[in-house]
Amino acid sequence: MRKPFVETLENAAEQNPDIFLITGDLGFGVLEPFARRFPRQFLNAGIAEQSMTALAAGLAREGRVVFTYSIANFSALRPLEFVRNDICGHQANVKIVGLGGGFSYGALGFSHHATEDLAVMSALPGMTVIAPGDDYEARELTRLLAAHSGPAYLRLDCPSAPACARTEVALGRASQLRDGRDVTLVATGAILSECWTASELLSDRGIECRVLSMHTLAPIDRAAIRGAAEQTGGIITVEEHSSKGGLGTAAAEVIADEDLRPQSFLRLGIRNPAECVSGCQDFLRRRHGLDSASIAGRVENLLRTTGRARERAL
């Protein structure tokens, strides 16, 4: 997703000279075209993410629209106090770009696995949290964030993520990519591709899934959750993130707050993020049951279980 992000930001910077990009000594293979075109709108802060964040907040206070860019754990978690106090405390117009969501950098080990970032960023006051599901959404959401005022976190998957289905993208509103009445699969981030493939596998088995890309995690689309609870046979959230504090938790809060009664509800995520196992992204997804085949199996099992429960109730 790096390429669509940078290309879209270049187009936005051409139209708006206040857009400013700061990197933490990372990403030169994709950032060099931006730096060459807009040398007065680009800065390498070095391997100093706290200073990068404080600098971004100061530039934003002077009227700039600032994007900071680094690996997700380094741009979001390492300078967390600065994000909270300098950016959120002043509602500064800074967009934190976290590269390598989930297990994108799986082979580099636990230090590079971004598995708590969405929960932490969602807890901060006034922070808009975005996780595109594919390259198309990455382009559209970057364009929207460039015009959006206020703090935001943009989580990007490191590999390219092929488009699942193209539909209108709007901040704070889930994108429905497929309709179905049996169950709703709700995904945030690039794990969307696994949900899309799972829905195709299930369709071949006679199970029709509604597929939602919940690309905006904060604020979450409450109407989409309500619709899934009322119109389909259950809700399954899927995230390449800790099962604590991310999409599943946010959806559960909506269900509790609005006293919704979905026929079933299941959260699929990483149950043990601290497991120090390295490997490619596909391997780690399979290990944690987040590949398309595992997701399809969990859907079938859930529908069988809830079907038996309804039969006993009757």
Q: Residue 248 above 50 pLDDT? A: yes
Pair (38, 109) in one structural domain: yes
Instruction: Please check whether residue 233 lies inside any domain of the structure.
Output: yes
If one compares 158 and 206, the residue with the highest pLDDT of the two is 206
Pair (188, 149) in one structural domain: no
Instruction: Please check whether residue 170 lies inside any domain of the structure.
Output: no
Q: Residue 187 above 90 pLDDT? A: yes
Q: Which residues of 151-176 are buried (b: 16+ CB within 10 A; e: fewer)?
A: bbbbbbbbbebebbeeeebebbebbb
Pair (120, 191) in one structural domain: no
Instruction: Please check whether residue 165 lies inside any domain of the structure.
Output: no
Mean pLDDT of 115-126: 97
Render pLDDT for 149-169 as a digit per residue (tens, 0 to 9).
999 999 999 766 666 767 889
Q: Residue 98 above 80 pLDDT? A: yes
Instruction: Please check whether residue 161 lies inside any domain of the structure.
Output: no
Q: Residue 314 above 50 pLDDT? A: no
Instruction: Please check whether residue 163 lies inside any domain of the structure.
Output: no
User: Where a domain ends, among 121, 156, 191?
Assistant: 156
Pair (207, 305) in one structural domain: yes
Pair (62, 193) in one structural domain: no
If one compares 83 and 113, the residue with the highest pLDDT of the two is 83
Pair (135, 237) in one structural domain: no
Instruction: Please check whether residue 54 lies inside any domain of the structure.
Output: yes
Q: Residue 309 above 70 pLDDT? A: no
Instruction: Please check whether residue 168 lies inside any domain of the structure.
Output: no
Render pLDDT for 258-301 as a digit per residue (tens, 0 to 9).
999 999 999 999 998 777 889 999 999 999 999 999 999 999 99
What pLDDT, on a 0 to 100 scale, did the predictor assign at position 161?
A: 63
User: Where a domain ends, among 156, 184, 204?
Assistant: 156
What pLDDT, on a 0 to 100 scale, did the predictor assign at position 167?
A: 82
Q: Residue 147 above 60 pLDDT? A: yes
Pair (105, 210) in one structural domain: no
Q: What is the CATH number of the domain that holds 209?
A: 3.40.50.920
Q: How many domains does the chain have?
A: 2
What pLDDT, on a 0 to 100 scale, did the predictor assign at position 263?
A: 93
Render pLDDT for 11-67 as a digit per residue (tens, 0 to 9).
999 999 999 999 999 877 889 999 999 999 999 999 999 999 999 999 999 999 999
Pair (269, 196) in one structural domain: yes
Q: Residue 313 above 50 pLDDT? A: no
Pair (221, 302) in one structural domain: yes
What pLDDT, on a 0 to 100 scale, did the predictor assign at position 29?
A: 83
Q: Residue 124 above 60 pLDDT? A: yes
Pair (101, 233) in one structural domain: no
Instruction: Please check whether residue 9 lies inside any domain of the structure.
Output: yes
Amino acid code (one letter) for 306: T
What pLDDT, on a 0 to 100 scale, did the predictor assign at position 311?
A: 42
Pair (250, 205) in one structural domain: yes
Pair (86, 17) in one structural domain: yes
- Domain coverage including residue 238: 175-313
User: Where a domain ends, among 97, 124, 156?
Assistant: 156
Q: What is the CATH number of the domain that holds 115?
A: 3.40.50.970
Question: How big is the CA angle at 213 (ends 164 and 129), to the nearest 5 degrees?
Answer: 125
| Per-residue 3-state assignment (H helix, E strand, C coil) for the chain | CHHHHHHHHHHHHHHCCCEEEEECCCCHHHHHHHHHHCHHHEEECCCCHHHHHHHHHHHHHCCCEEEEEEEHHHHHHCCHHHHHHHHHCCCCCEEEEEECCECCCHHHCHHHCECCHHHHHHCCCCCEEECCCCHHHHHHHHHHHHHCCCCEEEEECCCCCCCCCCCCCECCECEEEECCCCEEEEEECCCHHHHHHHHHHHHHCCCCEEEEECCEEECCCHHHHHHHHHHCCCEEEEEEEECCCCHHHHHHHHHHHCCCCCCCEEEEEECCCCCCCCCCHHHHHHHCCCCHHHHHHHHHHHHHHHHHHHHHHC
The reported pTM is: 0.94
What pLDDT, on a 0 to 100 scale, did the predictor assign at position 308?
A: 45
